[in-house]
């Protein structure tokens, strides 16, 4: 069953609809040319500022489009590109996240000598985010794949931007190879699906699947399995996550944040759309969701469970903050997959709002945590957790912001992450997927251990040897894989700190301000010009990022209602059409 209208040319009105993507593309070309003309000294911050402007402009365009279309769905290019509220909301999220990351980059670029003279550090984010936007809007396997590759290939370059750093080069190489594996899985799965259904349109696949199942059941399963696995690699879900630790560690921190938020978010959005637009279909007598469909969604839940458990368990022993955040991203990929995997049921239709709310919460807490980390790691000269030691006394406001982000990551009140997880949890409960509820709660509880380990570090006074716990956190810099020596301090120390004991040593405040990490530069990734004197300096763009993320995390933690209602109001996700 070949398609009649496989190709449809772009019309002028289509151009208008695609204005955000096209404008970003044009802006990108302009910036490439501009960089050649600008003096070398001035270029990075100029290019960064212009990139930011472009992103904000696209944000406004998307917003205007959304307001104008009133939830109406626009399909372009022979139904391969779809602009609906789900896509528009996602685009807003991606653009906002990228804007925050550009700001963060502006904060770090001056200090990071290796990339200080590279404008592409900023403008390469534009094609990447266009890729993410294309993925969010794709209604067709081919468009989807193009978007994915556009995002991936630019990300490879961004990861390897610090050419002289071997860690960065290694990360880029690994990312390319893993990305290739992922693409191979995805293409392989797509080819099976196309083969058995004869269509690359998501709706077409959905319509043809019940018929195809009669003959080629095994191939349908194989196709979906391969595609899910391919995307699981992209979103760093366990056991397909191994690359993410090395890549996050090796790439510049803002880029790591981009990978953690935008790349992951775009791939998750695609999984969401793919699963609901193709894999959800009724059984033959049209009374319930088909058994096959059920099993396909079960695969997603399986990956979710593995990610949540692995992400938290592996993080227990992790002492490198970037790798820790990568593992936290693995666990979070699991949480994101839950609303995707539990499908729609009669009692539960809120998957999209749960997903989007958590995506926004995740965006805020992850970018916020990475932003704090840029400042802390520069002060400490390395990426280890002990760089946070005594942070509360050195830089109380940043420490408070970080505590907020960590609370949010751990899913504790009063933070956006708490409500995000709560909504997902309640959704799973309403869909009666109790086993996944148990795993979610279990992994959250386990995660408190290492999240609070980070907070405990902040309240510890490392410099004057007051804290008995400092010595037990050892890092083996040679091997690169940290290990926790036995007899780590009990959480009692933390409780005492909370009970107000922290104020006993007012004098230590002065002492710790000049606290320098004695063995700075333990990690090979130490920035060349990093001032390893222990003083946490927050450049103003970083400060804005931290402030915005912290305030919004707190705000959503107190009042999640308005945002949740907004999302629920606007979404118009296509239910299966038959």
What does the binding site for other proteins look like in residue numbers (CB under 8 A)? Answer: 173-174, 177-178, 181, 185, 221, 225-226, 229, 232-233, 238-240, 242-243, 245-246, 295, 298-299, 302-303, 306, 310, 313-314, 316-317, 350, 419, 422-423, 426, 430, 480-481, 500-501, 503-504, 506, 559-561, 564-565
For helices 561-570 and 351-380, angle between their N-to-C axes, nearest 10 degrees: 130
Q: State the minimum distance, in angstroms, from the CB of residue 509 to other proteins.
A: 10
* Closest to other proteins by CB, 51 or 165: 165
What is the C-alpha to C-alpha distance for residues 275 and 271, in angstroms, rounded to an integer? 6
Instruction: Give bridge partners of residue 140 from the DSSP assignment.
Output: 201
Q: What are phi and psi of 75, to 5 degrees?
A: -115, 135
Instruction: Give bridge partners of residue 75 from the DSSP assignment.
Output: 82
Q: State the minimum distance, in angstroms, from the CB of residue 72 to other proteins.
A: 26
Across 176-315, where does the E strand assignment appear? none
User: Maximum Cα–Cα distance for the chain, whole Å?
Assistant: 79
Q: What are phi and psi of 289, to 5 degrees?
A: -65, 140
What is the C-alpha to C-alpha distance for residues 573 and 73, in angstroms, rounded to an integer? 9
Q: State the minimum distance, in angstroms, from the CB of residue 126 to other proteins.
A: 28
What is the C-alpha to C-alpha distance for residues 11 and 32, in angstroms, rounded to an integer? 27
* Closest to other proteins by CB, 54 or 390: 390
* Closest to other proteins by CB, 422 or 466: 422
Q: State the minimum distance, in angstroms, from the CB of residue 560 to other proteins.
A: 6
Residue whose token pair is 């007051």: 466
Burial of residue 4, with CB atoms counted within 10 A of its CB: 0-12 exposed, 13-18 middle, 19 or more buried: exposed
Report whether 509 contacts 393 (CB < 8 A): yes
Produce one character per residue of 463-494: b if its CB has 16 or more CB atoms within 10 Å, e if not.
Answer: beeebebbeebebeeeeeebebeeeebeeebb
Instruction: Give bridge partners of residue 82 from the DSSP assignment.
Output: 75
- Alpha carbons within 13 angstroms on the beta-carbon side of residue 530 total 26
Q: State the minimum distance, in angstroms, from the CB of residue 350 to other proteins.
A: 8
Three-point CA angle 224, 274, 201, nearest 5°: 95
CB atoms under 10 Å from CB of 418, counted, come to: 21
* Closest to other proteins by CB, 185 or 405: 185
Residue whose token pair is 């402030």: 547
What is the C-alpha to C-alpha distance for residues 6 and 201, in angstroms, rounded to an integer? 10
What is the C-alpha to C-alpha distance for residues 283 and 281, in angstroms, rounded to an integer? 7
Q: State the minimum distance, in angstroms, from the CB of residue 558 to other proteins.
A: 9
What is the C-alpha to C-alpha distance for residues 254 and 69, in angstroms, rounded to an integer? 34
* Closest to other proteins by CB, 4 or 504: 504
CB atoms under 10 Å from CB of 219, counted, come to: 16
What is the C-alpha to C-alpha distance for residues 302 and 361, in angstroms, rounded to an integer? 23
* Closest to other proteins by CB, 68 or 478: 478
* Closest to other proteins by CB, 98 or 290: 290
* Closest to other proteins by CB, 238 or 403: 238
* Closest to other proteins by CB, 194 or 221: 221
Rg (CA), the chain: 24
Q: State the minimum distance, in angstroms, from the CB of residue 523 to other proteins.
A: 15
* Closest to other proteins by CB, 179 or 252: 179
Q: State the minimum distance, in angstroms, from the CB of residue 488 to other proteins.
A: 12
Q: State the minimum distance, in angstroms, from the CB of residue 222 to other proteins.
A: 9
* Closest to other proteins by CB, 307 or 542: 307
Q: State the minimum distance, in angstroms, from the CB of residue 415 to other proteins.
A: 14
Three-point CA angle 391, 165, 38, nearest 5°: 95
What is the C-alpha to C-alpha distance for residues 172 and 208, in angstroms, rounded to an integer? 40
CB atoms under 10 Å from CB of 75, counted, come to: 18
Q: State the minimum distance, in angstroms, from the CB of residue 245 to other proteins.
A: 7
Residue 392 CA from chain centroid, whole number? 27
Q: State the minimum distance, in angstroms, from the CB of residue 189 to other proteins.
A: 11
Q: State the minimum distance, in angstroms, from the CB of residue 80 to other proteins.
A: 29
* Closest to other proteins by CB, 357 or 370: 357
* Closest to other proteins by CB, 481 or 540: 481
């Amino acid at each position: 069953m070949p398609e009649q209208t496989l190709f449809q040319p772009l019309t002028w009105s289509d151009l208008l609809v695609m204005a955000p993507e096209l404008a970003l593309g044009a802006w990108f070309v302009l910036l490439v040319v501009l960089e050649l003309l600008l003096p070398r000294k001035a270029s990075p911050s100029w290019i960064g500022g212009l990139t930011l402007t472009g992103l904000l402009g696209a944000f406004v365009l998307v917003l205007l489009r959304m307001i104008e279309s009133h939830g109406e769905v626009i399909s372009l290019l022979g139904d391969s590109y779809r602009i609906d509220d789900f896509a528009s909301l996602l685009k807003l999220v991606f653009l906002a996240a990228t804007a925050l990351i550009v700001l963060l980059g502006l904060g770090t670029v001056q200090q990071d000598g290796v990339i200080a003279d590279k404008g592409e550090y900023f403008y390469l984010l534009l094609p990447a985010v266009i890729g993410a936007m294309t993925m969010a809007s794709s209604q067709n396997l081919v468009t989807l794949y193009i978007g994915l590759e556009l995002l991936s290939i630019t990300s490879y370059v961004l990861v390897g931007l610090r050419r002289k750093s071997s860690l960065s080069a290694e990360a880029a190489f690994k990312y390319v190879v893993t990305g290739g594996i992922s693409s191979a899985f995805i293409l392989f799965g797509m080819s099976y699906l196309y083969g058995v259904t004869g269509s690359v349109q998501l709706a077409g696949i959905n319509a043809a699947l019940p018929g195809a199942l009669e003959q080629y059941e095994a191939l349908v399963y194989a196709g979906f399995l391969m595609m899910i696995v391919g995307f699981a690699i992209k979103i760093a879900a366990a056991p397909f996550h191994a690359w993410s630790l090395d890549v996050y560690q090796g790439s510049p921190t803002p880029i790591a944040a981009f990978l953690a938020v935008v790349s992951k978010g775009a791939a998750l959005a695609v999984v969401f759309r793919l699963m609901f637009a193709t894999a959800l279909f009724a059984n033959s007598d049209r009374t319930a969701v088909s058994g096959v469909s059920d099993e396909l969604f079960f695969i997603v839940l399986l990956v979710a469970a593995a990610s949540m458990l692995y992400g938290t368990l592996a993080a227990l022993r992790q002492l490198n903050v970037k790798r820790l955040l990568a593992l936290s991203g693995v666990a979070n990929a699991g949480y994101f997959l839950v609303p995707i995997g539990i499908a729609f049921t009669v009692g539960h239709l809120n998957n999209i709002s749960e997903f989007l709310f958590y995506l926004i919460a995740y965006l805020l807490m992850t970018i916020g945590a990475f932003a704090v980390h840029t400042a802390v790691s520069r002060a400490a000269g390395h990426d280890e957790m002990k760089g946070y030691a005594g942070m509360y006394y050195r830089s109380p406001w940043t420490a408070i912001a970080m505590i907020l982000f960590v609370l949010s990551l751990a899913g504790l009140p009063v933070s956006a992450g708490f409500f995000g997880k709560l909504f997902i949890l309640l959704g799973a409960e309403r869909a009666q997927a109790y086993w996944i509820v148990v795993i979610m709660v279990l992994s959250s509880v386990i995660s408190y251990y290492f999240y609070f380990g980070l907070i405990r570090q902040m309240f510890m006074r490392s410099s004057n040897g007051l804290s008995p716990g400092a010595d037990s956190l050892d890092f083996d810099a040679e091997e690169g894989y940290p290990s926790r020596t036995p007899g780590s301090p009990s959480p009692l120390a933390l409780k005492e700190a909370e009970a107000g004991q922290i104020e006993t040593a007012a004098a230590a405040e002065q002492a710790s301000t000049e606290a320098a990490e004695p063995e700075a530069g333990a990690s090979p990734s130490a920035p060349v010009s990093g001032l390893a004197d222990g003083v946490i300096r927050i450049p103003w763009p970083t400060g804005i990022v931290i402030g915005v993320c912290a305030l919004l995390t707190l705000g959503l933690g107190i009042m999640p209602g308005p945002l949740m209602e907004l999302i629920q109001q606007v979404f118009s996700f296509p239910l299966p059409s038959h």
